[in-house]
Structure 1
Amino acid sequence: MAAPAHGTEHLTVRRAGATLVITLDRPEARNALSLPMLVGLHDAWLAADADEAVRSVVLTGAGGAFCSGMDLKALADRGRPAGDAYRDRLAADPDLHWKAMLRHHRPRKPVIAAVEGPCVAGGTEILQGTDIRVAGRGAVFGLFEVRRGLFPIGGSTVRLPRQIPRTHALEMLLTGRPYTAAEALRIGLIGQVVPDGTALERALETAELINANAPLAVEAVKASVYDTAGLDEPEALALELERGWPVFATADAKEGARAFAEKRPPVFRRA
């Protein structure tokens, strides 16, 4: 059973209808990743998948920032009393931080990123694990690791070239320079740019559009997109049939057709 998503001192979790809103909440550090934040993220992803009433997830940051990457000092700080419990969690599951950053975990429900301000280093790496991305005009993206003699080990050398053209991926990875929201949109890293301060609002609007659809169909479509990535076309199309045909046999599929014929909104029951 997944741990309940109660949040931590660096992460808040709330429900907005059928959407779980996860907020990185350490604005004084531009939401740099800390151990309490990573533990909270890990538990929130699992809770979202375990709760059938949740149909989508929005990930955002507090205080006009998304995430400025890993806070190595905070992770190394053993003087904080609250840190011991979190370190016990990490010791029990050494993969926890990778799951939290969506490197070793793919949520079953659609995840929408609502980005304001800096979304750099580990922030850009988490972003690559989300499905739909909305950013304010003033958002900044980038993978700065090579500038510090480090490696973007959160998955960027693998995922980024699969999500945007390789030449743009290599430029971002090798130069370590910042990218504006307009540039990120142009190269396909994000899907929408909105006025500053409205990214969360737009993300929630997008989530509502998803929530109105049949959840079994939504989750099967998402799974098919990811499961067929990298396969040759015949193999991918065969796998698509395996994912898609069972959806037609669901009660929700029958309800969708019936609602269309009766000219009313469908009532989907995940059945």
Structure 2
Amino acid sequence: MGGTEGAGEHAGGTEHLTVERFDATLVLTLNRPEAKNALSLPMLVGLYDGWLAADEDDDIRSIVLTGAGGTFCAGMDLKALAGDGMAGEHYRERLRDDPDLHWKAMLRHHRPRKPVIAAVEGHCVAGGTEILQGTDIRVAGESATFGLFEVRRGLFPIGGSTVRLARQIPRTHALEMLLTGRPYPAREAERIGLIGHVVPDGTARDKALEIAGMVNACGPLAVEAVKASVYETSGMTEPDGLKAELARGRPLFDTADAKEGSRAFAEKRPPVYRRA
């Protein structure tokens, strides 16, 4: 798939979360630009439903998460989460039925089996930076801003940052971000390893779709097994991790997709993977 080829096909969502399909990529767009895409209950419900839809559809091979209006996410909207002025009683019912829904939506208590690529423009702060840590590959426009501002407000970044951040970037940088609450421009976020690519403003989604296209061209069983192995072995000792890696990876060599990959390479043609 070419990263930006084809028009997006709309596939559900809520008033604050747009869902589109680009070939084998599901694009989830936080869509509340008038509030800098602050997290609301309709947005969280849409996010969680999007993660589940991607998990359940074998034709989807990657997910792109982005924000509308030149902003990624400015964090949690506490008034909206409490239900003030919220459209749709059924959203509150969803939260009552599943009190963990907001943590699953924010990727704290849920990890999609498909790779998640973040495309960041503008503000990605507080809850936005916390969601970011649940994604796998990260692209940002050059004017994007990151940060965990909670301590400046006497709050705690309870979306997972005190656990995850120091596992993703060097501890000294993680602690500085957590304890100062200062903003980080995109180039500094790239330098410390929080994001992988800085691109011209307005092109983060295009770059994310380009990366998604490369992921989609690979064997889906292999991609999902590799992602699972990276996360499940991250807290293990090296001997235990290597043992788990073999258990996860060895069965892939017996799949029809593995044989197709080798055959396509020998025949100098694109492989046709069938999840078999």
Report the AA paired with residue 96 of structure 2. A
How far apart in 2 are the matches of 1:232 and 1:22? Answer: 35
Q: For 1:48-95, what per-residue CA distance to the aligned partner results, in whole angstroms no more than 9, with x for missing partners?
A: 00000000000000000000000112222444341x211100000000
Query: How do 1:107-118 and structure 2 match up within 5 A?
Result: 107-118=112-123
Trace 1:187-226 onto structure 2 (pairs within 5 A). 187-226=192-231
Structure 1 CA distance for aligned equivalents of residues 50 and 205 of structure 2: 18
In 1, Cα distance between the equivalents of 2:49 and 2:268?
40
Alignment partner of 1:36 out of 37, 42, 52: 42
Q: Which residue of 2 aligns with 1:233?
A: 238
What fraction of aligned residue pairs are identical, expressed as a percent? 78
CA–CA distance in 2 between the matches of 1:133 and 1:75?
27
In 1, Cα distance between equivalents of 2:266 and 2:84 = 63
- Aligned counterpart, 1:106: 111
Confirm or deny that 1:10 pairs with 2:55. Answer: no
After TM superposition, give the deviation of residue 178 of structure 1 in Å.
0.2
Q: Given the alignment, which residue of 41, 44, 52 partners 1:46?
A: 52
Equivalent in the alignment of 1:65: 71
Aligned to 2:25: 19
Distance 1:75 1:104 in 2: 18
Q: Which runs of 5+ in 2 are unaligned?
A: 1-10
Structure 1 ranges of 4+ moved more than 3 A? 77-81
Q: How many equivalent pairs are there?
A: 266
User: SS at the partner of 2:195?
Assistant: coil
What one-letter code is carried by the residue in structure 2 that aligns with 1:48?
A: A
Q: Residue 133 of structure 2 aligns with which residue?
A: 128
Contact 2:83 2:92 in 1 (8 A): no
* Secondary structure of the corresponding residue to residue 57 of structure 1: strand
RMSD of the alignment, in Å? 0.8
In the superposition, the TM-score normalised over structure 1's length comes to 0.97
Indicate the SS of the match to 1:99: helix
- Of 144, 150, 157 in structure 2, the residue corresponding to residue 145 of structure 1 is 150
Q: Whole-Å Cα distance in 2 between the matches of residues 36 and 121 of structure 1?
A: 19
Whichever residue aligns with residue 168 of structure 2, its letter is Q
Quote the Cα distance in structure 2 between the aligned partners of 1:79 and 1:258. Answer: 58
- One-letter amino acid of the structure 1 residue matched with residue 50 of structure 2: A
TM-score by length of 2: 0.95
Amino acid at match of 1:42: Y
Give the whole-Å Cα distance in 1 for the aligned partners of 2:193 and 2:260: 36
CA distances 1:140-199 after superposition (whole Å, capped 9, x unpaired): 000000011110000000000000000000000000000000000000000000000000
| C-alpha contact 2:123 2:146 (8 A) present in aligned 1 | yes
Q: How does 1:153-164 map to 2 (within 5 A)?
A: 153-164=158-169
CA contact (8 A) 2:61 2:114 kept: yes
- Name the SS for the 1:264 alignment partner: coil
- Counterpart CA distance in 2 for 1:53 and 1:234 is 35
User: 1:6 aligns to what SS in structure 2?
Assistant: strand
Q: Conserved in 1, the CA contact under 8 Å of 2:151 and 2:179? A: yes
Give 3-state SS (helix, strand or coil) of 1:223's partner.
helix
SS of the residue aligned with 1:20?
strand
What is aligned with 2:176?
A: 171
